[in-house]
Amino acid sequence: MPTIDCNGTRLHYQVDGVEGAPWLVLSNSLGTTLEMWRPQMEELAKRFRVLRYDTRGHGESGAPAGPYSVAQLGNDVIALLDALKIERAHFCGLSMGGMTGMWLGVHAPRRIDRLVLCNTSALIGPADVWNARIAKVDAEGMASIVPAVIDRWFTPAYQQRAPQEVAVVRDMLANTPASGYTANCAAVRDMDQRADVAKIQAPTLVIAGAHDLATPAKDGKAVADSIPGARYVEFDAAHLSNWEQAGNFTRTLVDFLTGKGA
């Protein structure tokens, strides 16, 4: 299992795809692992050298004591790039991964080629909602929030149509270490990048879901409107649009990263 030690924790990562192809980093949402990109991997691996990783506090990565910050999550990506001697890469992140991507676009522009921000927001509040969620997980464990989170991540129609796919994601969420989950909740709670995203210079695609309750489409549109030249796409999906609209998501992502959708 490939790992690196950086910034006080162990990061688990996986590299797939074509040697010598452009690098693409994929960053997971809060409560999932690098396996959340499974629906895209067959196509992406044909065209890119794909680096996936478990964000600190998730999957096989370490879960040091929190709270964490989005700056820490961004610096973890830089450490991974440095360790693997990757000068520049495309970056695609969903939800919390998109927040990491915004930070990188602002603070590490020389490392980012094209940037894709999916089902995300520059600010997610209010703080008392996050504090309540942290308290619930601390008191009752991850199982106490799984049903409500899944209902926010997927539309009822998709849950009925694809119960096996939903079960895969549900297991990722249920198996996330409680301490790692709450430490990342704090990072999301404390983040406000609204004043910074206008500094992003990388070609940027923002993807949103029309039925997303976690990061509403209007939040994604606000991010796109703040970034000079950003492209905005909205899918008929809830929060995990890369599962619910897997084919459309993958085609849109590939087209943008290869310059067809710019």
What pLDDT is attached to residue 125?
80
C-alpha neighbours within 13 Å on the C-beta side of residue 254: 16
Fold of domain 3-257: Rossmann fold (3.40.50)
Residue ranges of the domains in the chain? 3-257
What pLDDT is attached to residue 222?
98
What pLDDT is attached to residue 1?
81
What pLDDT is attached to residue 261?
57
- Please identify every stretch of the chain with a pLDDT value under 50, giving residue numbers as ranges: none
- pTM summary value: 0.97
